[in-house]
Amino acid sequence: MLEGGKQKFKRSIEEFALDVGSWTWRRTTNRNWFQASICQEDGGLYVLERHPKPEALLPSSIEYTVSQCEDGNGARIVVDGISVSLKVRLSAIEVVVEGDLPAEKSKRLAEEVRMKAEAIVGNRCIVVE
């Protein structure tokens, strides 16, 4: 995906299976999950003092429960029965809603993560869907 002349990558959330008869890959899922990346507008990285702890990015205006997350740079919450993963990467904070949460609520969640990231790193951040 190209955006503003820069190539952006989106994590694949689909699952695939190899058909050994034809040696072709076949998609086995058709997920329509909401995905957003929160990036620093100037292209800055989330390192050193600009590396927010995932727990500090969790929303305050949306009701959720905390779920177990194996990734030290991530957090997992459950909103309305749907898992949401949040991972702090080097160049972006990834938010993935792993189910059918209403679009308005998903976008509000990503926006709240963006605002918290912006306050923590002291730099303007943007949401890329």
pLDDT of 67-94, one tens digit each?
988 877 899 999 999 999 999 999 999 9
What proportion of the chain, given as a percentage, has pLDDT over 70? 91
Q: How high is the pLDDT of residue 62?
A: 95
Q: How far apart are CA 17 and CA 92, in angstroms?
A: 29
User: Any bridge partners for residue 27, and if so which?
Assistant: 16
Q: Are 86 and 112 in contact, with CB atoms under 8 Å apart?
A: no
Topology given in CATH for the domain delimited by 32-128: TATA-Binding Protein (3.30.310)
51 or 13: whose pLDDT is higher?
51
**Using one digit for the tens of pLDDT, what is the confidence trace for 90-110?**
999 999 999 999 999 999 999
